[in-house]
Structure 1
Amino acid sequence: MPRIIIQNLENFTIDSENTDRKVIELIHENGIDWMHACGKKGRCTSCKMIILEGQENVSEETERETFFRQQNRLLPNERLTCQSRLLQGRLIIKVADINKFPHLKYSD
């Protein structure tokens, strides 16, 4: 069963049998507030996640992610949650410091 663990939100864990969902949809459906300034359209990088483990378990990079990577707005271990899908296995991520909300308590 695919699993997302958000490390700096006290290892909040999301299990999902549905691999046809974007990572941000799974996060929001489980009650976690995650930034997305452009409305989940892949037009900004505010929803980026830092992948600590499991990059091989995520869908292929999209055109939008490649565009931002070429502009040096995404590092090799970063993906957009609005563009990527967890296909299998485990994905351990964290919220980037620049995208943290002031009303949430982060564990790092």
Structure 2
Amino acid sequence: MIWGLAGTLFILLAILIWLLLRMKKRNLKLYLTLPLSLVLFAMSAGIIPLFTRLTSSPWNSIRLFAPDIAYMTLGIVASLAWMGLVLMYGTLVNRRKHLESVTRRA
């Protein structure tokens, strides 16, 4: 379980870094990235309740007896939330630039 969480966290952090590096070069589409960012936020909000339900253990017990798993789970939650923020920010900035260029032409 620890290796799975560590691998998931590593992959999510790699995707987050890739998104940060590629955000200025890409023309993000509002109709694709805005729902995706909302899904990422919902996933980040639902991971800990889902994890506690699947393991049948309260979160306080997981934090006390398996702090490594708790920290990796919190890292995954934070990574998903940051990915949602980066996508939403990039989408809104690109949308604003597009609207400014359209109004300058008119």
| TM-score higher than 0.5 | no
Higher relative contact order (CA 8 A, sep 6+): 2
User: Which band: TM-score by shorter chain?
Assistant: under 0.3
Q: State TM-score, norm by structure 1.
A: 0.23
TM-score, structure 2 as length reference: 0.23
Structure showing greater Rg: 2
1 or 2, which has the higher helix percentage? 2
Which protein has the bigger strand share?
A: 1
